[in-house]
Amino acid sequence: MPASLDKFFPLRPARVHEVCGPSATAFAALACARTAGPLLWIYESWPAERLNPLGLAAFFDPARLLVAECRDQTDCLATAEEALKDGAVALVLAEISRPLNLREGRRLQLAAKAGGATGLCLIPEGMGSNAAETRWRCAPVCDPVHDRGEGADSTRMRWEIIKNKSGTLGFWDVRWDPAARRLDVVSPPGE
């Protein structure tokens, strides 16, 4: 039995974390929901896949969100470092498209410590930096029981912590309740 999720999930403040997997966006949205104050989401301008604020509205108020559209990865990292160091936003989310080297990861980590803001990098699978505080892998899981009535959708996900600098690893099945704004840990489905 893994330890309680509460020890890990409101992400440790003033550190940079990483998340990968198909549900990384949902994980990031939940991290936003658990943070008070302004948020900054940094992405590159080229991908055709876009954030949908109407989808984010089920997790947190998009009025708190600022987005920065950068030309390339270098600008993304520089913007993230500037925002983390300043500390005016509570959570900085950066979409990463190439592997970070140790220096880049360490710079972000130092900036987060200096400014007191939390960072979360959305990385492609296997492209993390060794400097990250924790790394998560998130994937959606088919919910066999659909007990919340018609019209409600399941948001069941498997969260796996695959790297942790100051703690143990573990995995949890979670579900977001948009009406109650609550994150439920559910037991894994039986075999």
User: Which residues, listed in sequence order, are joined to residue 97 by a DSSP beta bridge?
Assistant: none
Q: Decide: is 134 part of the binding site for another protein (CB under 8 A).
A: no
* 188, 173 contact by CB (below 8 A): yes
Q: Decide: is 113 part of the binding site for another protein (CB under 8 A).
A: no
Q: Which of 166, 180, 150, 146 is nearest to 33 (CA)?
A: 180
Q: Decide: is 180 part of the binding site for another protein (CB under 8 A).
A: no
Pairing between β-strand 91-95 and β-strand 39-44 as defined by DSSP bridges: parallel
Contacts to another protein from residues 13-32, by CB under 8 A: 22-23, 25-26, 29
Q: Decide: is 151 part of the binding site for another protein (CB under 8 A).
A: yes
Contacts to another protein from residues 51-70, by CB under 8 A: 51-59, 61-70
Pairing between β-strand 118-122 and β-strand 16-20 as defined by DSSP bridges: parallel
* 131, 109 contact by CB (below 8 A): yes
How far is it between the farthest Cα atoms of the chain?
50
Task: Give first-to-last CA distance, the chain, whole Å.
Answer: 16
Pick from 1, 48, 145, 179 the residue near another protein by CB under 8 A. Answer: 48
Number of residues that bind another protein (CB under 8 A): 53
Considering beta carbons, is residue 143 or 164 the nearer one to another protein? 143
For another protein, the binding residues (CB under 8 A) are 22-23, 25-26, 29, 38, 45, 48-59, 61-71, 75, 78-79, 82-83, 86, 88-89, 139-143, 146, 150-151, 153-155, 157-158, 176, 178
